[in-house]
Structure 1
Amino acid sequence: MSLKVDFIAAGGNRHPAAADWDPNGSGLLAFGAGNNLALWKPQATDGNGISELLRGHTDVINAVKFFPSGSSNDTIIVTGSADCTIRLWRRHGNSSMEQDPWVIDDHQDSINCIAVSANTNNFITGSADGTVKVWSLDHDSDAETPIEVKLWQTISLKPKYLSLALSLARLNDSSRVLAVAGTRSTIQIYTSEGKNFQLAASLTGHEGWIRSLAFARESEDPQSDLVLSSASQDKYIRLWRIHQGTELPAASKAGDDPILGSFGKSLSNKAHRFNCSRLDYSVTFEALLLGHEDWIYTAQWRRGPERGLELLSASADNSLAIWTPDPASGVWLSSARLGEISAQKGSTTATGSTGGFWIGLWSPSGDAVVSLGRTGSWRLWTHDTSSDSWSQQYATGGHVKEVKGIAWASDGSYLLSTSSDQTTRLFAEWKRTREKSWHEFSRPQIHGYDLNCIDTLGPHRFISGADEKLLRVFDEPKTVAEILFSLCGIEPPAASALPSAANIPVLGLSNKAVQPVAHDLDKMESDLIEDDTVQAQPSTSVADIRHPPLEDHLSRHLLFPEHEKLYGHGYEIATLAASHSGHVVATACRASSIDHAVIRLYETKEWREIRPPLTAHSLTVTSLEFSPDDKYLVSVGRDRQWAIFQRNADKPDVYELLTANPKGHSRMILGASWAPLAAGRVFATAGRDKTVKIWKLNEKEAECVASITATEPVTTVDFLQTPLDQGFCIAYGTDSGLINICCLEKDILQVIPETVVEIGSKLSPSKTVNQLLWRPLGGIQGANQRQYELAAASDDSSVRLYSFPMASLTAT
């Protein structure tokens, strides 16, 4: 069976060192996404987002660096993680990235930063164990030649602190210089003449932790002075000059800048002198860059052909700044400011503002910059040389915590996902003349509680459950419907049937329906500068966009208004399911007793609870699903039993217990799914006892007719609702992230061995698969459907969409 990954959504890690843009010409940007390594080409013309999500680390990736291999055909990435290991990844040409066998576990605590330098074979790692380690990396461009890594030196930081930033550069032809900083306000400068680095100077001046360091030559002359930038939580960037010679460099005029006020008097220009390779050097304070209003996380250099040296900084004040020296005075000024330049911060995460920008990166050519915000989504700006202006483009992103549930629209037109990061996201396929690609088109729900489950009620409404005692129902707004129609070809309902837009009030949890404001989005942002009490209002200009929404649109203007709340449960909502007709919703909450382990049903016309609640379980119900014709409801739970409820023939909204099996599995049951009607009354259950069991319902009893044995606990199962020539296709996911697909024979429902496919570790999630869902056939796909598609939600924070050509599933 052939398969490919059509789409991956995953948010970036909020760590300043967790991303890097390859300077060697591959176009790749690598970033940590949970414990996975994500690869993305921001400037690719096909519009696709993440191309690969590589598993290997067992904890969050904190540091990512491209090693200077010297060739775009030989890409090497070094990553450091909270799992205390350093891993190497390698790709030759256009092949897929492979994890190198080298796994370095010399550090005793989390790796926080990595430094590399062009024209050297060294990389440096800094860890929370209070040490900095110097490594040599030998490699050959030949794909068959393995990488060899050796430890050169371990530097114990004294007085002990945790390194958060490193920068490495050539000092001269035979020496290197290393800057180290972190959880102290001091920068330590080390130099080396051979293998070992020695402490040469300690630079003081900052008043907070230092989060970023970067070296650059002042000019293209390799003998020119080195300039070091240091960005700190004290909201300032300091520039330092390393000058060769006994005479000090000309005093900088930056300290005379009237903007500095009282700073000008207190800025020390003390010279720190040291000797290396029999040459004298001095380190002096050069400039103080003011302008950010909050912690500064990253500062990165580039040298442009026209402007010379430029510095890009990213701050928690939700802005990027580009700094250049004034040609006349030498004073460093902010020549461009990108992001949210206003006082409109909002009081809830609904504005998407709080948390600021954690990462700012230049593209290798300098014509684009990217930043990562608290929502896990990237922002991309490109530079127009003719107008000397920056414009924002669509980028990529995803959830930043475990994805707990997914749901297809009833016609398969879009996919909803919900997560412990307290957001619900809507993904759909952007259709152009010659290309198609999947993107996030709406963020319907930005909540104050972790979200656990979701299902759709028709093509334009959904219901979700969170770590609260109630459920919430949402309607698609007109703005989102217009975007989905114009970019994805999804037909909207009658215009009068939809609310206009939605908004979250300050300190509120409920999305309220509002009328859109008919003015330009950019003008709206500027209008809000003076009044930070105004709540961001949806703009009609959002519906006019001709590309997937930007992060600013998603986090503020594309919410779904809340239609209804459903009450009744005594604890946090654990699972829910909507009937295929959309007339009934079944829900369950976390429970440790029979009293709370009930299933509550709600009818969707008047939104009233259908009493009495259904009883069968004694512990939390983990999964619910209605049969394709809605005549039956299956429930499974942590009490190891499954139960079947049958619809009352006279009262179509009422269900009654038909049969139950208190010993369905030997351990808790985590998933259930009904087979297509063509199979008869057949359903599957998935348990932690490492089995998937196939049951056939006869009158009032159900018989186990087949059992699929897995190598580890099974956490989810789903039947493809389209019968195949030889039988019925089923997919199941496991506790470690593996996904398996197989076909069952039509008559005896046994597994057909030649149809068994395991989605390998390269393509499967790296943590528990929480839900699998086959995409419904029909709707906008119609007769043009040429493949089956399977969506997967995982604890590794990813949403993945796999596609299988029809022939690969139907061939015998």
Structure 2
Amino acid sequence: MNILVEFISVGGNRNPAAADWDTDGLKLLAFGADNCVALWNPLDSELQGVRLLLSGHTKAVNAVKFFPTGSSNTSILITGSADHTLRIWHGTLDPELQFKQVKVISEHQNPISRISTLRGSNIFATGASDGTVKIWKLIHDADFTEVDADLLQTITLSPKYFPLSLALAALDESSIILAAAGTRSTIQIFLSKNGTFGLAATLTGHEGWIRALAFTREANDPNDDLILASASQDKYIRLWRVHKGEELPAISSALNDPALGVLGKSLSNKAHRIESEATKYSITFEALLLGHEDWIYTASWRHRDGKLQLLSTSEDNSLSIWEPDASSGVWVCTTRLGEISAQKGSTTATGSAGGFWIGLWSPDGNSVVCLGRTGSWRVWAHSHIEDVWMQQVAITGHVREVTSLCWSRDGSYLLSTSSDQTTRLFSEWKRDGRSSWHEFSRPQIHGYDLNCIDTITDAQFISGADEKLLRVFDEPKGVAEILNKLCNIETRSSIELPDAANIPVLGLSNKAIQAVDDDTALENEDADEREAVDPASIVKKSTLDLDHPPFEDHLARHLLWPETEKLYGHGYEISAVATSCDGKLAATACRASSIDHAVIRLYDTREWLEIKPPLKAHSLTVTALQFSLDDKYLLSVGRDRQWVVWERTADTIYGLAISNPKGHTRMILDASWALLEQPIFLTASRDKSVKIWQILGKEAHLKTTISSTSPVTAVESYVRSVQDKLIFAYGTERGEIAIGVTEASAVDQVQITKLVETICPARTINELVWRPNRVDDRKHQLAAASDDGSVRIYNIRL
């Protein structure tokens, strides 16, 4: 069996230290994604997205840093996590992209918050919330096949604070300078003498926690002054000059700039004297960069086109590029990218992005990337001809556990829901004989964690959340046209669709809205002139006319689906939903600890009325529901360890046919019909087994039991029999996925193929779904949803 990963979608961790772009080795960008590390090439013309997910850490990855190897075919990656460990990975391209974990270090006592490396040396520094900074030496051979790390020194920060930022630079041949700052408003400068770092100066001036520090030479000459940038939650960036010799540098004329007004008085220019083994130095305040309106998270330097430039990202949804003005020397913001500040005060429901947490330069300096609150990346590339920064297609993904998945009825797109309170639609962008997977719509942005989803028709789905009711959504015309144009998916709704949808400022329900022409003046139809038109209630037609997969700004604001129905009846959080194969019925269940609440409710999808009475059999939460392919049976399993088969007695009426109160020895977590000539179904349980049952007359017989090494949390059978074979997949609590194949005539003889660990998720599998309507009998696609925040699609060739 040949199994390859087709697509991985995962969101980035919201931590300013949790990403780095390799300027030397394989030119990849690495970012923390829950407890994994994702590798992606933002400049890839094929737009393959996330190439690899490295698992090993047991808690969220907080710090990611590439070690400068100086070699173009080897990458060394250092990662630090909330599990208190540092891990070193060795990456190569031979024969294909692979990263191997080569070292685990457990010296820190608390979560690691920052890693800093020094180009041209083997020294790196790590900071953690145990209030220490540790200095390490990387020991390696010429091609980095053998890698180890020696602890050289532990600096206990006094007064104690958490180091949120570290920066290393070579001061001269004999000394290294280390800047450390974090949950205080001061910056501590350490100098190495005889290989040991000691505190040399404390820089004051900021009025908030310091989030970013970065050193650079003023020009590319090693004898030039060092410039240190410090960015803080006080909304300002300060620049400091490290100058060689007894004499102080000329005072920056920028400090006397009348525009600074009152601030000018507080910008003291006290000189801090420091001394290395060879020479004396001074550190003076150089400039104050004003312009951001909220906390600043990152600052990084780049020498670009002969100019020194600084990139900063902020909670105000902007990414700024600063450089000194050629004539006056005053630092000015030359480029500002991101979102318009007018949206700043709006809620996340109406599309406020909630800040940019990470900003990085590309290795060549002609592109920048940033990560926002929703876990999605944005990319801008500089066009030299027009001298403008153009936004490019980037990657998106869930930032919390992915709880449920379903394919559209014809298999043309995939829907996923998550505890990050969003529903996302993924499909294939087809162009010039190439294809790549992207998020094309974000149908639901909610106020509750979402638990389950199923499609009713190709243009309608139902989802359940932690809010006792279910919501039904219809595809808007704008999304249908984008999918038609970019993915060759035919528009299939029989009713007249609204153009788009939005969430009213104080609402939870998506309302349908119409698109207007770009030159239409916005007027309020009501008589009351004083009420302004809410710009969020209008969408221009040009906004929905795209020739590429939508950017994050569009997804978060313009590509919602209107909500058409709410289904009431349950008393607790919704746990499971399933729609019948003919789309006429929806079966739902909620969390329950008594027989009165553990009922299955059926709704007629034409009138959206509940079919009474509800189905009673379970005594605890129903965990999974599924209709058989001919809708003759409904299968339900629950935490009470029993499975129940309900049989259709009339058009929409189901009655209890067979039940097994001791189907497994622990709770049953998932179930699936395998429709061959006879009704066969599979159940998966916490007792570490999958059981295959066959209905014969009025009884169900256990045909075989497949044992697993950990609790089985998901099982799904491929609905069409392929050459008289039954094919199914199951996933476990540890993230393992296995494919089972058996002859229809001998169901008790199952061949199991396990996916290799490197392509499996790092945490519990919540759902597996086979893509329907595949033409080729030998090539199948399987989608997996996991607690590690990833949505994965596998190509499986039998």
Report how far residue 354 of structure 1 moved.
4.4
Q: Which residue of 1 aligns with 2:526?
A: none
Report how far residue 495 of structure 1 moved.
7.7
TM-score calculated relative to the size of structure 1 = 0.95
Separation in 2, partners of 1:338, 1:751: 60
Mark the CA change 1:25 to 1:91 in structure 2 (over 3 Å): closer, same or farther. closer
Mark the CA change 1:402 to 1:606 in structure 2 (over 3 Å): closer, same or farther. same
The Cα offsets for residues 196-249 of structure 1, whole Å up to 9 and x where unpaired, read as: 111111001011100110001000111000000011001110100100100001
Separation in 1, partners of 2:777, 2:499: 32
Report how far residue 539 of structure 1 moved.
2.9
Name the amino acid aligned to 1:746.
A
TM-score calculated relative to the size of structure 2 = 0.97
Separation in 2, partners of 1:671, 1:212: 46
User: Is the Cα contact below 8 Å between 1:716 and 1:732 reproduced in 2?
Assistant: yes
Q: Per the alignment, in what secondary structure is the counterpart of residue 555 of structure 2? A: helix
Q: Which residue of 1 aligns with 2:632?
A: 631
User: Is the Cα contact below 8 Å between 2:317 and 2:341 reproduced in 1?
Assistant: no
Report how far residue 261 of structure 1 moved.
1.7
Separation in 1, partners of 2:76, 2:795: 29
Separation in 2, partners of 1:547, 1:471: 32
Q: Which residue of 1 aligns with 2:356?
A: 357
User: Is the Cα contact below 8 Å between 2:690 and 2:712 reproduced in 1?
Assistant: yes
Aligned match of 2:699 in 695, 698, 701? Answer: 701
Separation in 2, partners of 1:575, 1:124: 48
Q: Which residue of 2 aligns with 1:490?
A: 489
Answering whether residue 408 of structure 2 is matched by residue 403 of structure 1, we say: no
Mark the CA change 1:751 to 1:136 in structure 2 (over 3 Å): closer, same or farther. farther
Of 725-734 and 538-547, deviating more is: 538-547
User: Is the Cα contact below 8 Å between 2:92 and 2:99 reproduced in 1?
Assistant: no
Q: Which residue of 2 aligns with 1:217?
A: 217
Of 507-516 and 344-353, deviating more is: 344-353
Aligned match of 2:756 in 736, 748, 760? Answer: 760
User: Is the Cα contact below 8 Å between 2:170 and 2:176 reproduced in 1?
Assistant: yes
The Cα offsets for residues 75-133 of structure 1, whole Å up to 9 and x where unpaired, read as: 01000000000001111234433332310110000000000011010111000000000
User: Is the Cα contact below 8 Å between 1:55 and 1:761 reproduced in 2?
Assistant: no
Separation in 2, partners of 1:538, 1:59: 41
Separation in 1, partners of 2:678, 2:358: 54
Report how far residue 419 of structure 1 moved.
0.1
Name the amino acid aligned to 2:348.
T
Q: Which residue of 1 aligns with 2:305?
A: 305
List aligned pairs for 1:196-595, cutoff 5 A: 196-306=196-306, 308-345=307-344, 347-493=346-492, 497-519=496-518, 534-535=535-536, 537-595=538-596
Separation in 2, partners of 1:770, 1:669: 13
Q: Per the alignment, in what secondary structure is the counterpart of residue 76 of structure 1? A: strand
User: Is the Cα contact below 8 Å between 2:762 and 2:788 reproduced in 1?
Assistant: yes
Q: Which residue of 1 aligns with 2:45?
A: 45
Q: Which residue of 2 aligns with 1:797?
A: 789
Report how far residue 534 of structure 1 moved.
3.5
Answering whether residue 668 of structure 2 is matched by residue 673 of structure 1, we say: no
Separation in 1, partners of 2:53, 2:278: 48
Separation in 2, partners of 1:120, 1:52: 28
Q: Percent identity?
A: 60
Mark the CA change 1:495 to 1:267 in structure 2 (over 3 Å): closer, same or farther. farther
Separation in 1, partners of 2:93, 2:169: 28
User: Is the Cα contact below 8 Å between 1:466 and 1:573 reproduced in 2?
Assistant: yes
User: Is the Cα contact below 8 Å between 2:350 and 2:502 reproduced in 1?
Assistant: no
User: Is the Cα contact below 8 Å between 1:362 and 1:370 reproduced in 2?
Assistant: yes
The Cα offsets for residues 324-349 of structure 1, whole Å up to 9 and x where unpaired, read as: 10111111000010001231236432
Answering whether residue 101 of structure 2 is matched by residue 100 of structure 1, we say: yes
Separation in 2, partners of 1:116, 1:495: 59
User: Is the Cα contact below 8 Å between 1:344 and 1:532 reproduced in 2?
Assistant: no
Report how far residue 503 of structure 1 moved.
0.5
Q: Per the alignment, in what secondary structure is the counterpart of residue 3 of structure 1? A: strand
> Is there any run of 5+ residues in structure 1 with no aligned partner, and where?
524-530
Separation in 1, partners of 2:316, 2:749: 57
Q: Which residue of 2 aligns with 1:715?
A: 713
The Cα offsets for residues 762-811 of structure 1, whole Å up to 9 and x where unpaired, read as: 00000000000000025xxxx46862000000000000000012xxx2xx
User: Is the Cα contact below 8 Å between 2:25 and 2:75 reproduced in 1?
Assistant: no
Mark the CA change 1:169 to 1:536 in structure 2 (over 3 Å): closer, same or farther. farther
Q: Per the alignment, in what secondary structure is the counterpart of residue 76 of structure 2? A: strand
User: Is the Cα contact below 8 Å between 2:353 and 2:374 reproduced in 1?
Assistant: no
Report how far residue 277 of structure 1 moved.
1.7
Report how far residue 265 of structure 1 moved.
1.1
Mark the CA change 1:261 to 1:751 in structure 2 (over 3 Å): closer, same or farther. farther
Q: Per the alignment, in what secondary structure is the counterpart of residue 497 of structure 1? A: coil
Report how far residue 146 of structure 1 moved.
1.4
The Cα offsets for residues 480-500 of structure 1, whole Å up to 9 and x where unpaired, read as: 000001100000025853221
Mark the CA change 1:694 to 1:235 in structure 2 (over 3 Å): closer, same or farther. same
User: Is the Cα contact below 8 Å between 1:346 and 1:535 reproduced in 2?
Assistant: no
**How many residues are matched?**
789
Separation in 1, partners of 2:517, 2:10: 33
Report how far residue 750 of structure 1 moved.
1.9
Report how far residue 679 of structure 1 moved.
4.1
Cα RMSD of the aligned pairs, angstroms, is: 1.7
User: Is the Cα contact below 8 Å between 2:174 and 2:278 reproduced in 1?
Assistant: no
Q: Per the alignment, in what secondary structure is the counterpart of residue 24 of structure 2? A: coil
Report how far residue 142 of structure 1 moved.
3.2
Report how far residue 747 of structure 1 moved.
1.2
Report how far residue 281 of structure 1 moved.
0.5
Q: Which residue of 2 aligns with 1:527?
A: none
User: Is the Cα contact below 8 Å between 2:61 and 2:81 reproduced in 1?
Assistant: yes
Name the amino acid aligned to 1:184.
R
Q: Which residue of 2 aligns with 1:34?
A: 34
Q: Per the alignment, in what secondary structure is the counterpart of residue 552 of structure 1? A: helix
Report how far residue 193 of structure 1 moved.
3.0
The Cα offsets for residues 529-583 of structure 1, whole Å up to 9 and x where unpaired, read as: xx99632633322332111100011000000000100000000101110111110
Report how far residue 653 of structure 1 moved.
1.2
Mark the CA change 1:286 to 1:740 in structure 2 (over 3 Å): closer, same or farther. same
Of 134-143 and 609-618, deviating more is: 134-143
Separation in 1, partners of 2:356, 2:749: 50
Name the amino acid aligned to 2:789.
S
Q: Which residue of 2 aligns with 1:186?
A: 186
Separation in 2, partners of 1:505, 1:761: 45
User: Is the Cα contact below 8 Å between 1:352 and 1:375 reproduced in 2?
Assistant: no
Separation in 2, partners of 1:502, 1:751: 51
Separation in 1, partners of 2:519, 2:40: 31
Separation in 2, partners of 1:540, 1:700: 58
User: Is the Cα contact below 8 Å between 1:717 and 1:730 reproduced in 2?
Assistant: yes
List aligned pairs for 1:719-798, cutoff 5 A: 719-725=717-723, 727-753=725-751, 756-778=752-774, 783=775, 787-798=779-790
Answering whether residue 62 of structure 2 is matched by residue 62 of structure 1, we say: yes
Report how far residue 741 of structure 1 moved.
0.5
Q: Per the alignment, in what secondary structure is the counterpart of residue 721 of structure 1? A: coil
Name the amino acid aligned to 2:121.
T
Name the amino acid aligned to 1:557.
H
Report how far residue 433 of structure 1 moved.
1.5
User: Is the Cα contact below 8 Å between 2:316 and 2:341 reproduced in 1?
Assistant: no
Separation in 2, partners of 1:262, 1:345: 26
Q: Per the alignment, in what secondary structure is the counterpart of residue 762 of structure 1? A: helix
Mark the CA change 1:142 to 1:344 in structure 2 (over 3 Å): closer, same or farther. closer
Q: Per the alignment, in what secondary structure is the counterpart of residue 479 of structure 1? A: helix
Name the amino acid aligned to 1:389.
V
Q: Per the alignment, in what secondary structure is the counterpart of residue 255 of structure 1? A: helix
Report how far residue 670 of structure 1 moved.
0.2
Q: Which residue of 1 aligns with 2:78?
A: 78
Mark the CA change 1:345 to 1:679 in structure 2 (over 3 Å): closer, same or farther. farther
Report how far residue 365 of structure 1 moved.
0.9
Separation in 2, partners of 1:198, 1:21: 30
Q: Per the alignment, in what secondary structure is the counterpart of residue 255 of structure 2? A: helix
Q: Which residue of 2 aligns with 1:658?
A: 657
Name the amino acid aligned to 1:777.
N
Mark the CA change 1:636 to 1:346 in structure 2 (over 3 Å): closer, same or farther. farther
Q: Which residue of 1 aligns with 2:527?
A: none
